[in-house]
A and B are shown apart, each in its own frame.
Chain A
């Protein structure tokens, strides 16, 4: 039986004292390091803009979020594309963040792969559901009454 020596754990000195240092080697983890920062900058505009429209502008103008509101909003391509980009970036940014957090706390290798694998599978199905709602909602053929009415 041969024992494979594990590489020593890298001790990072993080000059920014802020977050994860940039991975030294190029590859998947460095891609995600850049992705988190670039998508984060886009989300500052997209996510805060979404919250501002839905919770502040709607409130100030005395509007209400209901089916008719969604109908008029998703009747325009601009808001549909905006929401699709926001969903994709926010979801992938958030799921990757959660993956990093899980990796920090689950130290057992098998357990970590298993938990992250299950989490990513559930998240992928969830994301497809979200994208399908934005893609398939049709303001014209939406049923006038629901199955529970």
Chain B
């Protein structure tokens, strides 16, 4: 149990909410991504202009967020699947949930650094 703005929220609830939020976020990006990629049918000028919209720091930070959402959704999804098919694992739901959050954060350190590198002063 953790205290969030006066509400007592369990990690299970947060993990569930995070799974929904990250899934909906990735789906929204997928809709956008289809439109963006469809400009490839109009030739190099239009396509390069379309992907050019995403070649700046704010858009890149959005892509880092997308990567984090995907990594979390993948790891938490595998936890859900594992617990669905091996109910015995539910005994370990708390350490598994902590593990998913920790693994997401640890994975995002190198991934995020590689992704924002071209926009950093030391690049």
Contacts and interface: CB of A to CB of B under 8 A. Distances in A.
Interface of A: 15-19, 22, 37, 40-41, 43-44, 47-48, 51, 55-56, 59-60, 65-68, 70, 87, 90-91, 94-95, 97-98, 101, 126, 129-130, 133, 136-137, 142-149
Given A48-B71, A51-B67, A37 B81 contact: yes
Contact of B84 (A22, A65, A87, A143): A22
Nearest to B63: A55
Contacts of A15: 87, 90
A91 B29 CA distance: 11
A145 B80 contact: no
Interface of B: 12, 15-16, 19-20, 23-24, 26-27, 30-31, 34-35, 37-38, 40-49, 51, 63, 66-67, 70-71, 74, 77-81, 83-84, 87, 90, 93, 111, 114-115, 117-118
Given A43-B74, A44-B74, A44-B77, A59 B118 contact: yes
Contact of A147 (B19, B42, B117, B118): B42
A133 B43 contact: no
A126 B31 contact: yes
What's the dominant secondary structure at chain B's contact region? helix
Contact of A70 (B15, B24, B40, B84): B40
Given A19-B80, A129-B34, A59 B115 contact: yes
A137 to B, nearest CB: 6
Contacts, number: 132
Given A59-B118, A94-B27, A19 B19 contact: yes
